[in-house]
Amino acid sequence: MRGPAREVKSGDVLHLTRAASVQFLRPIFVRVIRLPDWVTYDGWLWIEGYELGPKGEAVVRRTLFVQKAGLIWQDPPLPAARPTARRQVRRGPVRVG
């Protein structure tokens, strides 16, 4: 869904393109953490969230300034990435030559 008809809230996943800001020449997905209560221009807002990788995993935390009218909600939200299970790697004998 696009446009200001919805209010942004924590947990939302947004697809940010050039419609949201010229900084998104390469579109990204962001999972919203919170909305800072900072003064902005009319129609703009600050978002704190995690940029998501291709599998829905949090890659980097970002603070972004975006236009409300350019926001695209990801419905349903991308699934959160499952933690990676670590396994012990067996190694053969070490050769010294």
Angle 26-43-62 from CA coordinates, rounded to 5°: 40
Residue 29 in any domain: the answer is yes
Higher pLDDT, 95 or 9: 9
In a domain, 32, yes or no: yes
Tell me, yes or no, whether 87 lies in a domain.
no
Residue 65 lies in a domain: yes
3 state DSSP class of 69: helix
Total count of domains within the chain:
1
Which pTM was predicted?
0.72
Is omega for the bond preceding 76 within 30 degrees of 0, making it cis?
A: yes
pLDDT band at 6 (very low <50, low <70, confident <90, very high): confident
Q: Is position 81 within any domain?
A: no
**46 part of a folded domain:** yes
Question: If you average pLDDT over residues 37-56, what whole number do you get?
Answer: 94
Query: What stretches of the chain adopt beta strand conformation (E)?
Result: 13-16, 28-34, 44-52, 58-67, 72-73
DSSP 53: -
Q: Residue 56 belongs to what domain range?
A: 13-73
